[in-house]
Amino acid sequence: VEQVKLLDRFSTSNKSLTGTLYLTATHLLFIDSSQRETWILHHHIAAVEKLPLTTSGCPLVIQCKNFRIVHFVVPRERDCHDIYNSLLQLSRTAQYNELYAFSYNPKQNASEQVKGWQLIDLAEEYKRMGVPNANWQLTDANREYKICETYPKELYVPRTASKPIIVGSSKFRSKGRFPVLSYYHKDKEAAICRCSQPLSGFSARCLEDEHMLQAISKANPSNRFMYVMDTRPKLNAMANRAAGKGYENEDNYSNIRFQFVGIENIHVMRSSLQKLLEVSGTKGLSVNDFLSGLESSGWLRHIKAVLDAAVFLVKAIAVESASVLVHCSDGWDRTSQVCSLGALLLDSYYRTIKGFMVLIEKDWIAFGHKFSDRCCQLDGDPKEISPVFTQFLECVWNLMEQFPQAFEYNEAFLLQIHEHVHSCQFGNFLGNCQKEREELKFKEKTYSLWPFLLDEQKKYQNPLYNPDFSPELSLLEPNTVSFNFKFWRNMYHQFDRSLHPRQSVLDLIMNMSDENKQLEKDIKELEAKIKRRSGQVDGVLLKEPLPPAPPAPVLLKSPPCFQKEPPLVPGSDSVRTIEGSSSADNRYSEFMEELGKAEPAVVSLEYGVARMTC
């Protein structure tokens, strides 16, 4: 469709770009008159809305899962209607094999595809943690997904937990998700375990489950006491008792300390994000409306609650050497958040690029976080959608802000992962659990995201990363006082560039650190050349030692071959352009257009956008 206008989201004067809109099988593409391209993957589309017809045409608003919002005006209503219907169909997929991942072909051959999937090996990861060992072993109880459909096949349990105990315990746990090892802390010999809520109702008990917990606490020689963290608010947990579920009774379990930590459920989180987006998307927003909207959305409160829970867990392990069992209702949302963040705080490996991939594979993908439902990959129940994984990334981002040198990866890495959790371009996040993924043969039919990210890891490296920032298995102790939590502008306004700083320190330092490597190479070459020359002629050799190099980030092996996809990194333009300086880019210029018109009585500059009200 030609002559389509793309409106600026925050402009109050309807500034727009005119161009042509294309629909492909996988993407929506807009090319404006200066040939700039905007690609939107159909899977990224969260909602399409047709607004009432205006004089200039029919407005079409598209909301994306990566928080991009585009506002088109299509000149003819018929076209608009067609686009609307096509987008509705294209963005709603009924079956997995219609997803982009199944048509996406990155020109990898079969062996590369297999190798890509083998990049992250969880058995290797457990070995790195130090299991199996004298106290923990691999169990084959779930080999055929017989005991628990949403768990992976390989599970680690205390050696003293026999098969009957496992089976018994799983029958007493919601969805059969019995307590298993998530992370083992070698030095403290303490473990993070995870499960779902017990089916205790008001009084039910299960001896096998009690034995199971005993086995976990006995597997820790340093401290016989263990914590049981119920990550739900107490009220929710109590309400669950009426449905025959609930929480552990301290009297029935010996040696446990029970603790609620009060993270809200997926529905609260979904509507909280909804409110946040409503506020941040308002045109002409005032500071006070923004702050009160931020407050009433509760979003930062939830982020803080998640991080507080992780800090509680970490203290139990690092200070008391006590093992901790974490659960919520089903043990795949809040439990995943808390376990993975806890491990990230405890173990510096997860703060490396590869380690973070492993962490996501382990605590999120393998343990059955329902990515398909939560991210609405297939047309499904809207009540199942929830930004649980986004919250996890936001917690990590907050940690990165507090510890700028502790992470090998940067913000762009988190944003890129977020992008692909929703893009359905790679197989990793498709489906809800491992069993489903195996049945649908994702590993044969789709590609893994991780080798591609590793391949372009240069973009994701934190130039300030210091691997010696803290000794092996070192602990991060974040400050969770409220004022440390900030609105994540680069996530929620990733595509609203006018709101961003006009010069990026990160990009600059990244380039500089690249340049330094090149310069080091140049120096070596030049020195070699000079040596050769001066061998012939008795030249004087400048003998200056190379300046002492700052610690270089650890480089990981990068697998071969990756072709860049157009919509991959939206913000990778050249670095030193100063956007505010060209008149086309800044919002005040709109003010001037209007200044010419009417005699003003009052001028209001809102949202960086100037507007006259006469």
Partner 1 sequence: MEFAELIKTPRVDNVVLHRPFYPAVEGTLCLTGHHLILSSRRQDDAEELWLLHSNIDSIEKRFVGSLGTIIIKCKDLRIIQLDIPGMEECLNIASSIEALSTLDSVTLMYPFFYRPMFEVVEDGWRSFLPEQEFELLSSLTDEWRLSCINKEFSVCPSYPAVVIVPKSIDDEALRKVALFRHGSRFPVLSYYHKKNGMVMMRSSQPLTGTNGRRCKEDEKLINATLRAGKRGYIIDTRSLNVAQQARAKGGGFEQEAHYPQWRRIHKSIERFNILQESLIKLVEACNDQSHNMDRWLSKLEASNWLTHIKEILTAACLAAQCIDREGASVLVHGTEGTDSTLQVTSLAQIILDPRCRTIRGFESLVVREWLQAGHPFQQRCAQSAYSNSKQKWEAPVFLLFLDCVWQILRQFPCSFEFNEHFLIMLFEHAYASQFGTFLGNNESERSKLKLQQKTMSLWSWVNRPQELNKYKNPLFEANSLVIWPSVAPQSLQLWEGVFLRWNRSSKFLDEAYEEMVTLIEYNKQLKAKVNALRRQLAELETDDRMQENP
d(CA 174, CA 246): 10
265 known member of a binding site: yes
Of the CA atoms within 13 Å of residue 59, those in its CB half-sphere come to: 16
Residue ranges in 573-612 that form contacts with partner 1 under rule CB under 8 A: 576, 578, 580-581, 583, 586-589, 591-592, 595, 599-603, 605, 607-608, 610
Count of CB atoms situated within 10 Å of the CB of 348: 22
Tokens of 509: 């330092």
Shortest Cβ distance from residue 599 to partner 1 (Å)?
7
Tokens of 331: 């043990």
What sign does the dihedral 85-87-92-97 (CA atoms) show? positive
Residue ranges in 43-62 that form contacts with partner 1 under rule CB under 8 A: none
Tokens of 145: 């997904």
Choice between 63 and 133, CB closer to partner 1: 63
437 known member of a binding site: no
Choice between 110 and 542, CB closer to partner 1: 542
- Read out DSSP for 339-407? HHHHHHHH-GGGGSHHHHHHHIIIIIIITT--HHHHTT-SS--GGG---HHHHHHHHHHHHHHH-TTS-
Residue ranges in 407-466 that form contacts with partner 1 under rule CB under 8 A: 463-464, 466
187 known member of a binding site: no
Shortest Cβ distance from residue 60 to partner 1 (Å)?
25
Residues with Cβ within 8 Å of residue 470, at least 6 apart in sequence? 348, 406, 476
83 known member of a binding site: no
Choice between 255 and 405, CB closer to partner 1: 405
Classify 607 in phi/psi space as left (phi over 0), alpha (psi -120 to 50) or beta.
left
Taking alpha carbons only, the member of 91, 122, 139, 34 closest to residue 585 is 34
Consecutive H or E run containing 423: helix 411-423
Residue ranges in 337-366 that form contacts with partner 1 under rule CB under 8 A: none
Residue ranges in 304-323 that form contacts with partner 1 under rule CB under 8 A: 304
Q: Are 130 and 138 in contact (CB under 8 A)?
A: no
32 known member of a binding site: no
Q: How far is CA 313 from CA 163, 223, 343, 484, 526, in A?
A: 28, 15, 9, 20, 54
Catalytic residue among 328, 339, 375, 424: 328
Give the x-and-dash track for 532-561 against partner 1 (CB under 8 A). -xx-xx-x--x-x-xx-xx-----------
Tokens of 221: 């020689």
Interaxial angle between packed helices 411-423 and 388-402, expressed in degrees from 0 to 180 and rounded to the nearest 10: 170
- Known active-site residue 328: yes
Choice between 29 and 506, CB closer to partner 1: 506
571 binds partner 1 (CB under 8 A): no
Which residues does residue 157 pair with via DSSP β-bridges, in sequence order? 137
d(CA 589, CA 586): 6
# residues near partner 1 by CB under 8 A: 88
Shortest Cβ distance from residue 420 to partner 1 (Å)?
25
333 known member of a binding site: yes
Residue ranges in 153-212 that form contacts with partner 1 under rule CB under 8 A: none
Classify 181 in phi/psi space as left (phi over 0), alpha (psi -120 to 50) or beta.
beta
Q: What is the DSSP letter of 475?
A: P
328 known member of a binding site: yes
402 binds partner 1 (CB under 8 A): yes
13 binds partner 1 (CB under 8 A): no
Give the x-and-dash track for 280-299 against partner 1 (CB under 8 A). x----xxxxxxxx-xx--x-
Residue ranges in 474-503 that form contacts with partner 1 under rule CB under 8 A: 479, 481-487, 489, 493, 498-503
Shortest Cβ distance from residue 496 to partner 1 (Å)?
8
Choice between 247 and 485, CB closer to partner 1: 485
Shortest Cβ distance from residue 614 to partner 1 (Å)?
12
Choice between 16 and 586, CB closer to partner 1: 586
**Radius of gyration in angstroms for the set of CA atoms belonging to the chain, rounded to a whole number:** 27
509 binds partner 1 (CB under 8 A): yes
246 known member of a binding site: no
Stretch that binds partner 1, among 162-170, 224-232, 324-332, 528-536 (CB under 8 A): 528-536
273 binds partner 1 (CB under 8 A): no
Annotated binding site: 265-266, 328-334
Catalytic residues: 328
Q: Which residues are annotated as a binding site for substrate?
A: 265-266, 328-334
